Amino acid sequence: MIIKNVELLMTAGNKSQYPETDYPEIAFAGRSNVGKSSLINVLINRKRFARTSANPGKTQTINFYAVNGNQMLVDLPGYGYAKVSKKERQKWGVMIEEYLNERDQLKEVILLVDMRHVPSQNDILMYNWIRECGFEGYVVATKADKISRGKRQKHMAEIRKALGIYDVNKVISFSASEKLNRDAVWAKIKELSER
């Protein structure tokens, strides 16, 4: 994928702030610090365009990134970070639910999980929620570089088992530092956006 231009179109706290475009949207969900912003940065060939942080819970809005004037990548707030107040977590939940259920341009929500760990209860709940909202349920397993090549398939199988995924093509391994499977993720985004 050749990236000609990228723009942070909007950081939205509610639906009245969503950008008014007809670009197909692919959203990324996942726990805090799983690597959503890093994935977006690799996809758009920018080092620090999407804000990353060593401190979980940095993304507190829905961030809309317009790519090449015809595609939208959407970074959803992370979940599962204990230091964020319960009230704040509930607010994020309402914000995400509103987006998933009411955004016509949204084609798919891709769940990011950390390949090093079996999906947590929060990951399973989020995956099931994505499926209940009518989406296919694709997964990107991040931080693959932290696992030796010989053990990656075992970890991928554990992720599929925990989430109840039977189609091996629904889970893509990914590493931001190695740019592993960048093209595969873009190919999936293109396929999903054209539906």
pLDDT (tens digit per residue) in 158-194: 999 999 999 999 999 999 999 999 999 999 999 999 9
Tally of structural domains, the chain: 1
Q: Is 1 within a domain?
A: no
Strand partners, 166: none
Over residues 17-46, the mean pLDDT reads 95
Q: What is the DSSP letter of 168?
A: G
Please tell me the predicted confidence (pLDDT) of residue 94.
85
Please tell me the predicted confidence (pLDDT) of residue 112.
98
- Locate 11 and state its tokens: 């950081």
Tens digits of residue pLDDT in 122-137: 999 999 999 999 999 9
Tens digits of residue pLDDT in 41-86: 999 999 888 865 555 445 578 999 999 999 999 999 888 765 666 7
Q: What is the CATH number of the domain that holds 31?
A: 3.40.50.300
Contact of 170 with 139, CB cutoff 8 Å: yes
Q: Is 176 within a domain?
A: yes
Structural domain of 95? 6-193
- Round to whole Å and give the CA distance between 26 and 49: 17
State the average pLDDT for the chain: 91
Please, where are the H alpha helices in 133-173? 149-163
Q: Is 35 within a domain?
A: yes
Q: Is 90 within a domain?
A: yes
For the cut 60, the answer to whether the pLDDT of residue 29 exceeds it is yes
Q: Is 130 within a domain?
A: yes
